[in-house]
Amino acid sequence: MMESHWWIREIDWRISTGIIFSIQLIFWNCEERRKNWLLRICISFVILCTCSWSMRFLLEEGIAANFYIAFGYSLYIMFMSMFFILCYSFCYHSSKEVTLFLSMIALTVYRMAWNSIKLISTIPVGKDVEWSNGSVFQSAMSYLFYFCLTLVAYKLFQRFVKQPIVFQFKMSVIFASILLCQMLLEFTFQYFYRGENQVVFFLTALLYSIMNFVLLIMIAFLNMLRIENAGLENFIASKQKYYEISREGILSLRVKCHDLKHQIAMIRSAEGEHQLNQYINSLSDSIDEYNTVISTGNPDIDVVLTEKNIICSINKIRFSYMIDGTLFSFLSDMEIYSLFGNALDNAIESMTNVKQREKVFISLKANKREDRLVVVIENYYEHIIEFQDGIPVTNKIEKNMHGFGLRSIRAIAREHEGEVIIQADNNIFKLVISMRTGNKNKA
């Protein structure tokens, strides 16, 4: 098992980085998979391994000077990271910022494992036998270590960072900084530490990579908290608005009803008919105002639908709904706000510049089919809808928040073993959300 084999050094070692990045590609599947995902993963595996072997072959066989070898290996780290980014975009529907973030995670985990293996390789296995002698056993154990470390890193990431992953700032600078530091470490090792003091170097590099990984998780975690806090603030504001509208509507109707008995006497007067018509119009307006308060049987859904109904009334948008709020008791209040709030906000926004105002409408329907709940939201649109990563491109100025609403909806559906289907055809935008009921307790 410890016998050295030529193909381990000539082939396996040269494609090892491609294999490890392929493992990372499968593990960090935090985004929606593209069609024919398995085929795309296989193609990416071939690309990564081919590029890895070609660059390693050129460095080991074509360059003799130590400086150029060291510089070449640092470029090797950069090119493999770039190929990983391309392969991730090829396999998953992902935004630029999320792709860069996950590539940093993959690079950091790879370097953590690599430095750990190198640190282990400095320890003799037996008499006149080194860990890095090129045996099948040592190669298999190395890959097993890479796999286990990646699994641990992924579980830690899941523990602290929830989906969807969305960033409100650019990742380019952070990505360039981490990549440059890893390239500098690789150059330093290849040029200065090839023959001595390797234990100190690998230990230092390992600690640096661990620090990088902790930093990246903290960045994602803090950004997630900021987005959740923003959503909570919007939820509280909407709830306050709902209660204000409800209170004012009820008070207005009570005042009108109270005054009605005082107006009866005026009906018999000469101007009674004119006075009555004026009063009925005023009373009708008050009743219309009160009717904007929606009651579905779920107070959280009432909050959201009431707010959006008022916005629709102001903007002359026909809003129809057929929903039993009691069916959504398995969702938390924040999930309800995110689900309906984001979906209806997108529908309202898509009709702000519609010229044919008579065609403007939003339809909301919810039906239960066995153990699944299906929500269908349809709206009219006139503008051209472009899709990026399977999600319509936003028209908002804050491009960094592209698709956050729909990604949030998709994450909630997945949390409840469901899916989201988006269709845009014949000027009708259709959002279908299905979820399994009863598998989660309401928070």
User: Among the listed ranges 77-81, 176-180, 241-245, 301-305, which one has the minimum average pLDDT value?
Assistant: 241-245
Residue 430, SS3 per DSSP? strand
How far apart are alpha carbons 231 and 218 in whole angstroms? 20
Check whether 161 has a pLDDT greater than 50: yes
Residue 219 neighbours by CB distance under 10 Å: 17
Q: Give residues with Cβ within 8 angstroms of 112, minimum separation 6.
A: 149, 153, 206, 209, 210, 213
Confidence of residue 207 (pLDDT cuts 50, 70, 90): very high
Predicted pLDDT of residue 265: 57
Q: Of 279, 287, 283, 293, nearest to 247 (Cα)?
A: 293
Looking at residue 441, what is its pLDDT? Answer: 44
Instruction: Give pLDDT, residue 137.
Output: 80
More confident residue, 62 or 272: 62
Confidence tier at 397 by pLDDT (50, 70, 90): very low
Contacts of 97 (CB under 8 A, 6+ apart): 166, 167, 169, 170, 171, 400
Residue 347 has pLDDT above 60, yes or no: yes
Q: Using the predicted structure, report yes or no on whether residue 400 has a pLDDT greater than 50.
A: no
pLDDT of res. 60: 87
The pLDDT of residue 399 is 47
Q: Each residue of 230-271: pLDDT tens digit?
A: 766 666 666 666 556 656 655 555 566 566 656 655 655 555
State the pLDDT at residue 443. Answer: 40
What is the C-alpha to C-alpha distance for residues 147 and 217, in angstroms, rounded to an integer?
Answer: 19
The pLDDT value given to residue 401: 46
**pLDDT for 138:** 80
Nearest-5° angle of CA 39, CA 43, CA 47? 170
Q: When comparing pLDDT for 153 and 129, which is higher? A: 153
Nearest one of 375, 246, 346 to 303, comparing CA atoms: 246
Share of the chain above pLDDT 90, in %: 32
Give residue 149's pLDDT: 93
Confidence of residue 300 (pLDDT cuts 50, 70, 90): confident
Mean pLDDT of the chain: 80
Q: What is the pLDDT of residue 97?
A: 84
Which structural domains are found in the chain, ordered by start? Answer: 6-226 (no CATH), 295-443 (3.30.565.10)
- Give residue 406's pLDDT: 80
Max mean pLDDT among 64-68, 102-106, 287-291, 401-405 falls in 102-106
Strands (DSSP E) contained in 100-162 are none
**At residue 317, what is the residue type?**
I
SS3 category, 175: helix
Question: Across residues 177-182, what is the average pLDDT?
Answer: 93
Higher pLDDT residue, 135 or 197? 135
Mean pLDDT across 12-26: 92
354-363 confidence digits (pLDDT tens) = 877 788 899 9
Give the amino acid at 230.
A
Residues 331-363: b if buried by 16+ CB within 10 A, e if exposed = bbbbbbbbbbbbbbebbbebbeebeeeeebbbb
Residue where the block lists tokens 């190929």: 83
| Token pair in block for residue 71 | 């510089």
- Tokens 């909407």 sit at which residue? 238
pLDDT at position 408: 78
Band (389; pLDDT cuts 50, 70, 90): low
pLDDT number for residue 442: 42
Q: Is 244 exposed, middle or buried (0-12, 13-18, 19+ CB in 10 A)?
A: exposed
d(Cα 112, Cα 123) in Å, to the nearest integer?
Answer: 18
